[in-house]
Structure 1
Amino acid sequence: MKITIGNILKQTRQSQGLTQKAVADGICSQAMLSSLEHNKYIPNAQLIIALCQRLSISLEQLNLAENYAISNDKKLNQKLNFLCNQHQYQLLFELLHQDSTLNSLTTPSQIQSYYYYLAISEFQLKLDVTHAVQHLKLALASESSKQSVLRRLCLGTLGLILNLHTSSSGDVYLQQSLKNLQDNIYHPNLNILFYLQAFNAYHQQNFLECTHTIENGLSFITNHDSHYMLANLYYLLAKVASKTNNLNLQNEATQRSKIFTELFNERPYQDFKI
């Protein structure tokens, strides 16, 4: 299936057991949503935002495409995976503090994963941000022999938290998270790195850099035949458009055409005589 906004919204709606009528209620007509899901209509920024909010496609709550093991205990890893995917951060925080969990950590990679999840739970629970920063730095120190996907996630997350919630700059960590990305065998979790960078630029009100990073991310994702993080990147792009949309309809349509051209490699017919 081709990756489009319509397909993403349709898959998300169906996975939640919602009807078109329920999703469209108060936002747009059911016929318009149907046209969007069948890729017959390109929505404006506000409509994308409203539909993403209705379907809980969130800027803040992101799942990894695949979680990382913190133990050789399969059941413990499965429980962690469930809590992460359900955004049960309080229960995750408690699980990570159990003696049985701490005693099961055996390898540097597992220790790195442990500190990463601990930092994520602390950040999401809005605990003292210095703890999340410290634990991300411990995660980086636990396994520094290679620039793994998880290490890149730790770098990107640390950079974003520092920039959003402290007086320290996290730019160097964000830059390191994307440096020489081609050296890694592709994994969908790498898609998150572009989002972290773009989200950081958005909050710094550097909308040009944000848009540039999103476009690079969309290209990276589709070049690897992936769809993970597309919905979130589109949502963020819509937020940027709502902040900067001071062009007339023609320019806006031209820009959207350019974005979709780059994303889907579908060159629009341009040889118009009149």
Structure 2
Amino acid sequence: MESSLNKFEAIAHSLGQNIATERKKLRLTQKQLSAGICSQSMISNIEKGNYVPNAILLTEICQKLGISVDNSLLSTYYEISEYNGFNKKVELLCNNHQYEELIDYMDSSRIIDTLFRSEDLQTFYYYYGCGTYQITKDSTSALRYLNMALKFTYSNRKENLTGLEVLIFSAINFIETKSSRTKSLKNFEIAMNAISKNKVLMPDKNLSIVFYQYAMALLHQKNFNKSIEILQAGVQWTTEHDSNFMLSDFFFLLTQEYDAIEDTQHARESETNYQVISKIFHQKVNKSI
């Protein structure tokens, strides 16, 4: 525990020094930097290494300093979690549709008792909400977990979203529409807007899920043409980002879409694609639509 604390203190100190250095380069006082963001005393505590800002505050500070959030200033900050193994495991279980194992692992690990960073707690409740819904179809509980997760870091004042925030917006809207709680696709539009306008901080392959969930929601609303458009965009986005994640799911769903509009040729092409891709990359396709 002591080594973990020392590591955290070292990163907080380094981050604070870097922010102070960048502020002084711009000849800003602490009061000027804090204006419209937080209190001057908060900036002072951050620069002294007494406080590590959450994702929202850190993003706002960096934007005012003209610093990219993915530059070397932040490279160690986003690695301070002692539970990277946990994060990777829950992501893997979720992506492989092993939801019962996911919930069992999260319940048995008791890691929730040791989390303190907003981002770590957000990760926990995002995956817990997704797993809960997939196992029980209890939309009320799942949405409670997901909305809780979003509140840890999100503010409607943010211009840019983290990748996880985008996934949470998508998951919330997906569950809402599938459980007939709403016909609105507003949260999907927020997520897609962030992706299309490059307003996602450090995007990763998991954003492919947004295209898939949006297309599924449109399919259930029988908006087949729009759903096909979103799936095609998902295929393009995924391949442009040198990924094969979700590709077999995209083509499987496209097969169903083309069948629905009686486009036999494209249905056959999509079926061939999903079978080949799932075999080559050993992807487990979700066929429960």
Q: Which residue of 2 aligns with 1:18?
A: none
Alignment of 1:160-239 (within 5 A): 160-181=174-195, 182-184=198-200, 185-239=202-256
2:104 is aligned with 1:104: no
CA-to-aligned-CA distance 1:66-108 (integer Å, 9 cap, x gap) = xx99962355445535543554423432443458322121101
CA distance in structure 2 between the aligned counterparts of 1:116 and 1:164, rounded to whole angstroms: 18
Residue 155 of structure 1 and its aligned partner are, at CA, apart by 0.5
Distance 1:118 1:70 in 2: 22
Give me the whole-angstrom Cα distance separating, in 1, the residues matched to 2:118 and 2:147: 14
Query: What amino acid is aligned across from residue 218 of structure 1 in structure 2?
Result: V
Given residue 117 of structure 2, which amino acid in structure 1 is its aligned partner?
T
Identity of aligned residues (%): 26
User: Cα distance 1:112–1:70, how it changes in 2: closer, same or farther (>3 A)?
Assistant: farther
Residue 241 of structure 1 aligns with which residue?
258
Q: Deviations over 1:136-174 (max 9, x none)?
A: 111110111551111101000110100010332441111
Q: Distance in 2 between matches of 1:70 and 1:89?
A: 27
Contact 1:161 1:170 in 2 (8 A): no
Partner residue in 2 for 1:154: 168
Using the alignment, how far apart are the partners of 2:259 and 2:80 within structure 1?
41
**Matched-pair contact (CA < 8 Å) for 1:118–1:135:** yes
* 2:83 paired residue number: 73
Amino acid aligned to 1:148: T
CA displacement at 1:220 relative to structure 2: 1.5
State which structure, 1 or 2, has the greater radius of gyration over its C-alpha atoms. 2
Q: Is the 8 A contact 2:162 2:203 kept in 1?
A: no
Whether the aligned pair in 1 keeps the contact of 2:211 and 2:234 (CA below 8 Å) is yes
Q: What is the TM-score when the length of structure 2 is the normalising length? A: 0.57
Amino acid at match of 1:197: Y
| Structure 2 unaligned residues grouped into runs of 5+ | 1-77, 274-289
Q: Alignment RMSD, CA only?
A: 3.1
Cα separation, 2, equivalents of 1:223 and 1:213: 15
Alignment correspondent of 2:142 = 132
Question: C-alpha separation between the residues in 1 aligned to 2:225 and 2:80?
Answer: 38
CA–CA separation in structure 2 for the residues paired with 1:161 and 1:70: 32
Contact 1:70 1:113 in 2 (8 A): no
Q: Measure, in 2, the Cα distance between the counterparts of 1:69 and 1:92.
A: 23
Structure 1 unaligned spans of 5+: 1-67, 261-274
State how far apart, in whole Å, the 1-side matches of 2:174 and 2:249 are: 16
Aligned-partner SS, 1:177: helix
Amino acid of the structure 1 residue aligned with 2:206: N
Partner of 2:31: none
Gap change, CA 1:195 and 1:256, over 3 Å in 2: same
Q: Is the 8 A contact 2:224 2:257 kept in 1?
A: yes
Inter-partner Cα distance in structure 1 for 2:240 and 2:111: 39
Change (3 A) 1:77 1:131: same
Deviation at 1:198, TM superposition (A): 0.8
TM-score (norm 1): 0.60
Aligned-residue offset at 1:190: 1.4
Q: Comparing 191-200 with 77-86, which one deviates more in the overlay?
A: 77-86
Looking at structure 2, the residues matched to 85 and 150 of structure 1 have their Cα atoms a distance apart, in angstroms, of 14
User: How many pairs does the alignment contain?
Assistant: 187
In 1, distance between residues paired with 2:80 and 2:97? 17
